[in-house]
A and B are shown apart, each in its own frame.
Chain A
Amino acid sequence: EAGVTQFPSHSVIEKGQTVTLRCDPISGHDNLYWYRRVMGKEIKFLLHFVKESKQDESGMPNNRFLAERTGGTYSTLKVQPAELEDSGVYFCASSQFGNTEAFFGQGTRLTVV
């Protein structure tokens, strides 16, 4: 069974540009989460989808970040326009509904220059 897949694995963009990160959860997992780790800091929760609905987006830093999960399958996280402080590693995770074990992807390392 495939795990959680994220791509790209690494993205380097200029300040002011737009970047879209993608996450493919494990098939059948209703819960999908985005986290990020800014350099030298903790891994922070961004948001949680249950199927296609946003269950909790309290961790989204500002309105430059937009997450979608059309059809309740894969999810995208768009940053527009990117700022220097957005650099970090963005993790996606998924879990079955009601299940407490989340499986993480390898992360996307975003570098904004």
Chain B
Amino acid sequence: AQSVTQPDIHITVSEGASLELRCNYSYGATPYLFWYVQSPGQGLQLLLKYFSGDTLVQGIKGFEAEFKRSQSSFNLRKPSVHWSDAAEYFCAVGARTNGQNFVFGPGTRLSVLP
């Protein structure tokens, strides 16, 4: 069965520090991979996605993620965190067919200290 794990439920970093949010997946084939962010009172916003090609993917707001097939991982990174990055982050996998019946990870809540 497909599954996504995000080992860290809650992470706190200082503003300006680097960030890495972990994501591991279990999937029978090469999936599509996504990171979404949900800020307080907002919907889910797509940060970035991996379909194929370059395994280092650039997204919005200065985020990037690297697909590592050997580790079944798709970790999200940002070199310098801003206070506005405080939110909940979700990793998701989707099938390579029409339709995105995503399987989401449990989410990682990010707090940013001034």
Q: How far is the CA of A44 from the CA of B102 in the complex (A)?
A: 8
Q: How far is the CA of A59 from the CA of B100 in the complex (A)?
A: 13
Residue of A nearest to B3 (CB): A42
Query: When A31-B99, A41-B106, A48-B99 are in contact, do A100 and B94 touch as well, CB less than 8 Å?
Result: yes
Q: Is B51 an interface residue (CB 8 A)?
A: yes
Contact: B100 with A33, CB < 8 Å?
A: yes
Q: How far is the CA of A56 from the CA of B102 in the complex (A)?
A: 12
Residue of B nearest to A103 (CB): B46
Provide the B59-99 mask, 1 if CB < 8 A to any CB of A, else 0. Answer: 00000000000000000000000000000001010101011
Q: How far is the CA of A91 from the CA of B29 in the complex (A)?
A: 27
Within 8 A of B (CB), among A1-29: 3-4
Picked from A3, A42, A95, A105, the residue with its CB within 8 Å of the CB of B100 is A95
Picked from A43, A55, A103, A107, the residue with its CB within 8 Å of the CB of B99 is A55
Contacts of A104 in B (CB 8 A): 36, 43-45
Contact: B49 with A100, CB < 8 Å?
A: yes
Contact: A106 with B43, CB < 8 Å?
A: yes
Closest CB in chain A relative to B6 CB, distance in Å: 9
Contact: A35 with B102, CB < 8 Å?
A: yes
Contact: A98 with B36, CB < 8 Å?
A: no
Contacts of A50 in B (CB 8 A): 98-99
* Chain A residues with a Cβ under 8 A of chain B: 3-4, 31, 33, 35, 41-45, 48, 50, 55-56, 59, 91, 93, 95, 97-98, 100-107
In the complex, given contacts A43-B107, A45-B102, A95-B99, what are 15 additional A-B residue pairs having Cβ atoms less than 8 angstroms apart? A4-B43, A33-B99, A35-B104, A43-B90, A43-B104, A50-B98, A91-B43, A95-B100, A98-B98, A100-B32, A100-B100, A101-B100, A104-B44, A106-B41, A107-B44
